[in-house]
Structure 1
Amino acid sequence: MHRHLGKVVAGTAIAVAGTAVMVGITLPGTAGADDTGTRAGQGQAGQSVRQEAGAGRSVAPGVVEEAPAEGEKGTGRDPLTDDEMERVAKIALNRQLLQGSEGVDGERGPQRLGVDLAEPEADEVGDPNAPRRADVTFYDYRDDTLVTRTVDLGTGKVVRTGTQRGVQPPLSGDEKAEAARLLIADPLGAGLKADYRDATGKELTSPDQLQLSGAVYRAAPGAQPDVLDRCGEHRCVRLFPKIKNGPWVDARSIVIDLSARKAARLDR
């Protein structure tokens, strides 16, 4: 009998939910995954890690960088170039947003989620000379707010800022890595670490040792422990970790609340 988190699920559909109701998805490709798999078990539920974001840390004053030179530019509805994405991301992050927000790791400044070509206004559809704009999205972990700033690529100015609560776009790579870091440090990560040790003979100490997929988790009434009831308002994630050159580990029963920096096991 083993206490481990899960078993190999390479190449199979596993149940995962954006709410507490389970829905089926298929995991990403599994090239190199071990077909024998790690052994199933529940793991020991322990005291969840509770850390106030940024507590005990000395945070250096944030610095707003000058926007880089325009560099390579697209036209019309062309996808944003790398130069354009870098430029608008720096334009969007003004001093007020930088100083008054917090990222997933508790450091000063919002968590950048993405940069996308903005949709044209209704009266601009089909106009080849319509302004070219980009939407830069950030998540502020200080107050769980999604911030979208629209930058006009021609003028280099922010033309619109929008804020939303309870909106949970897909997770960034940095957020999935932080979720894994919290799980590894939590007693609930004991099974994952045991499976990693069995598969590699080494200790799991860092998210860099895993390939990470994940999905946003939203609470549904009565379907999770009380500690996860704010998921949806908070930014919460279910991880699907894969041992590099090895199997997927079934960690579906664990949810990491990135806003509260704690993990909990879903009720069965």
Structure 2
Amino acid sequence: MKINVLTLFPEMFTPLQVSLLGRGQEDGKWKLNLVNFRDFSTRPHASVDDTPYGGGAGMVLQIMPIKAALESLENKGKVIITAPQGKTFNEQMAQEWSKEENLTFICGHFEGFDQRVYDLADETVSIGDYVLTGGELPTMSMIDATVRLLPGILGNAMSAVEESFSDGLLEYPQYTRPADFEGQKVPDILLSGNHGNIAEWRHYQALKATYLHRPDMLEGRDLTKEEKHMLADIKAEIADSEN
């Protein structure tokens, strides 16, 4: 996979050069191409923004340098703009994007884009209902979530499958040594060696965590018969603990 990023601040993308994602680049599993669209400005001082028509505070990014930067790419693939009005990024998007050969992100700054820039994109995406100074941090988050799903990026191939959101549930609790830390003990079932019971416990705990912390994720979920029984037990367990 090759990911292009159009940004005024390519130096901000250092975090993607380290850890598992950095190793993935070294191994040739994905490539990051940072493009400073200021380099495509034809205005004095390489300016890429201007005052908005109709007045108002702040500066607006112009379409010309961004379009020229896009046209310079050999393969841009799906083009994504990060902006507050976009649809909210989620795990399903990351999974879909991880199947693409090429992705291109356009990072905004200042007061945003000339409206005509949005016509250059295939998708407008947000990471939440809040405002940041630019699109670089959201873009890094989305790249991380996408690239980690590529084959060979994670050490354990099952890690991406078992983690939060991958099956529509939050992740179950995890433990490691010591089995007893200051009286806080690892659940006995995890020490039992019975993989069938462990899998059932983990599913129950994942469903419980989702019900407690993100009940919205269960809305519209087609619960299996087993999950319906589990959810009933979870509700009874919670009711008992509150009495």
Same fold (TM over 0.5): no
TM-score by length of 1: 0.21
Looking at secondary structure, tell me which structure has more helix per residue. Answer: 2
Looking at secondary structure, tell me which structure has more strand per residue. Answer: 1
Work out which structure has the larger RCO, using CA pairs closer than 8 Å and 6 or more positions apart in sequence: 1
